[in-house]
Amino acid sequence: MMWQDSGVLSRIIDVSAGREEPDLLLTGGRVLNVYTGRLEEADVAIAAGRIAYVGSLKEAKIEPGDGTRIIDVTGRVLVPGYIEPHAHPFQLYHPVTLTEKVLPLGTTAMICDNLFLFSRMETGEFLSLAEELSRLPVRLFWWARFDSQATLPDEDKLFSDERMRDLLSHPRVLQGGELTAWPSLLAGEERMVRWIEELRRQGKRVEGHAPGASHKTLARLAAAGVTGDHEPISPEEVWDRLRLGYMTTLRHSSLRPDLPTLLEGLLKEDGVPWHRLMMTTDGPTPAYLRHGFVDYLIKTALKAGCDPVEAYRMVTINPAVYYRLDEHLGGIAPGRVADINVLSGLDQPTPVQVIAGGRVVAEEGRLLIPLPRVDFFRYQGLVTSFSWRAEEDHFALPLEAGEPYPVIQLLNPVITRVAEEELPVAGGRVQLSPEDDRLLAHLVDRGGAWITRGVLRGFGRGIDGLASTYNGSGDLLVLGQKPDAMARAANRALEQGGGIVWIQGGEERFNLPLPIAGAMSERPVDELISLTERLTRELKAFGHPFHDPIYTFLFLSSTHLPQVRLTARGLLRIKDGRVLVPSEPLK
């Protein structure tokens, strides 16, 4: 899969034998050997993007030529490029802008969710985009989702055998999952079983998504072909998965910063099978990236007392072995791709220099090479245009005085519960005051066909109108207390092809256009960091209690989390599938 050019192997053999000059020499450094766990003094010879030799160049009789670049790394430590095993490369950013941010931080490979792209594109379009993105210096591999995490009207068509067949067999697709609809698998759903059988025939992985699952459920999922899971939130849950043969991923995300707790518990016990563990940032929203990316995971692990060698293994050789990429990635050894991070020391995981595919691509946090340009708008599925416009009456909530209504209560940025409450009514409509911590919360079909009306408690007070096309179902989420401001925010988002728009006091307080599929910005990640931090600060002035409103936007319409969600069917209680308030045609 990764031997792309003929003649590469012959070139590497000739360089390793001293018959040809290398392209790049790294001399005088120490190499972290992830296979033995030792730091070894060694030179590294690189040719045709691969490592030709590791050891003493003098003993191997490998000499530089006129075309050889020599970098003296005396006093430095060389480690393999970092692998993010569970990436969501579309949290307002897109795969190219994420690459631009994380490559200087040492991440040289990501295994990526396909949901926001595949759910909007034809299969051929998505695979064409995946091939175009393969030109990036960070190697992008993909998952194949089996469900949408939302109640989409065309779910069966979206995840049809015809669409999935080409996806599952593609060489850059390494696993199925993450399986948020795992109850369907345990119920024996024929299509899902068939897809997992196909993945197993191809030697590919299946990732679960089973937060809080019992040993019995985890065991049944393992029997059904699930090979990994990234959802443990306690040390006991880590061990539950390890005992059942899962490759277990420890998460430290903007939503679930669990890594210190997990490692503290693991380090209290002997015989931890570190080779069965990986670490992930699990799709951080932009503000998290101010701290770093996979390098931040390593820093966090080291601070928690993790052995440095094991910390680096969890983001290099362990994911490479799990995804069956280790003959190419994950280590500094002959024949492997020359993805190498040059560090000041093992205690400083943010690299001073990054080598990807045998090229020096970053130094001191600065990208040194231009990235291939990707025109996302040439893919029809990612072009967003909305032919309808919102009206003030769309967002009013008709109700009789004294009539109870189900109110969604936010327990944290994403988990909810529901309670029947009496709402203030005037003139046959709900009228909320700025002191009230409840907002109208409506989900509107992206095509303008239907609306689901709800009320949300605990997001903020006195917000006039806030609209977001960035959400799990890809529809239009609108929050607020004033229907006229809600309509203005909605229309501004629709007019610009998507975005997050806040109207307050008759003025546009915040606007982040998201023209790519209504979910992704063209701005660099550093700009998105500043913008989303500003949005959070300003929402806090209106009583927002949490650290990450972006995740609330994302998950209010996602049906894989408890307890109640805004969906195309209506206000849906997840546990029993009961529709508390049905959706209505949009007039």
Say whether both 180 and 220 belong to one domain: yes
Residues 423 and 543 in one domain: yes
Instruction: Name which of 150-164, 344-358, 367-381, 426-440 the model is least confident about.
Output: 150-164
Task: Using DSSP bridges, classify how beta strands 139-144 and 173-179 pair: parallel, antiparallel or unpaired.
Answer: parallel
Name the E strands within 1-125. 24-27, 30-33, 38-41, 43-47, 50-55, 69-72, 77-80, 82-87, 107-112
Return the pLDDT at 6.
75
Pseudo-torsion of CA 545, 546, 551, 554, nearest 10°? -10
Residue 444 has pLDDT above 90, yes or no: yes
Same domain, 296 and 264: yes
pLDDT digits (tens, 9 = 90+) for 220-263: 999 999 999 999 999 999 999 999 999 999 999 999 999 999 99
Tokens, residue 32:
């972290």
pLDDT at 181 over 60: yes
For 49-73, what is the mean pLDDT? 97
Tens of pLDDT along 11-28? 999 999 999 999 999 999
Surface-to-core class of residue 170, CB atoms within 10 Å of its CB (0-12 exposed, 13-18 middle, 19+ buried):
middle
pLDDT 10s digits, 467-516: 999 999 999 999 999 999 999 999 999 999 999 999 999 999 999 999 99
Boundaries of domain holding 438: 384-585
* Shared domain check, 250 and 133: yes
pLDDT, mean of residues 557-564? 91
Run of H or E residues at 479? strand 476-480
Mark which of 347, 372, 397 sits at the end of a domain: 372
Q: Whole-angstrom Cα distance, residue 546 to residue 374?
A: 35
How far apart are alpha carbons 207 and 181 in whole angstroms?
A: 12
Residue 32 belongs to some domain of the structure:
no
pLDDT for 20:
97
Clarify whether residues 397 and 325 are in a common domain: no
The pLDDT, as a whole number, for residue 156 is: 86
Task: Note whether 328 and 443 are same-domain residues.
Answer: no
Query: Is residue 368 assigned to a domain?
Result: yes
Q: Are residues 84 and 160 in the same domain?
A: yes
Q: In this structure, are 400 and 267 located in the same domain?
A: no
What confidence score (pLDDT) does residue 150 get?
A: 84
The mean predicted confidence, pLDDT, of the chain is 96
Name the band, by pLDDT with cuts 50, 70 and 90, for residue 96.
very high
Alpha helix stretches (DSSP H) within 56-210 = 57-60, 95-102, 115-118, 123-133, 155-158, 161-169, 182-186, 190-201
Whether residue 406 sits in one domain with residue 359: no
- Tell me, yes or no, whether 136 and 188 share the same domain: yes
For residue range 499-509, list pLDDT tens digits in order.
999 999 999 99
Residue 193 sits in the same domain as residue 227: yes
Share of the chain above pLDDT 70, in %: 99
> Which of 326, 344, 372 is a domain's end point?
372
297 domain residue, yes or no: yes
pLDDT at 321: 98
pLDDT tens, 152-180? Answer: 778 888 899 999 999 999 999 999 999 99
Which CATH number is 126's domain given? 3.20.20.140
pLDDT value, residue 209: 95
**Residue 455 neighbours by CB under 8 Å, 6+ apart:** 397, 405, 406, 407, 408, 421, 423, 430, 438, 439, 440, 441
Read off the pLDDT of residues 532-542 as tens digits, 9 standing for 90 and up. 999 999 999 99
pLDDT attached to residue 155: 83
User: Is the preceding omega at residue 563 within 30 degrees of 0, hence cis?
Assistant: yes
pLDDT at residue 4 above 60?
Answer: no
pLDDT interval class at 463 (50, 70, 90): very high
Q: Which residues of 497-526 are buried (b: 16+ CB within 10 A; e: fewer)?
A: bbbbbbbbeeeebbbbbbbbbbbbbebebe
Number of structural domains (the chain) is: 2
Are residues 219 and 137 part of one domain? yes
pLDDT at 3: 53
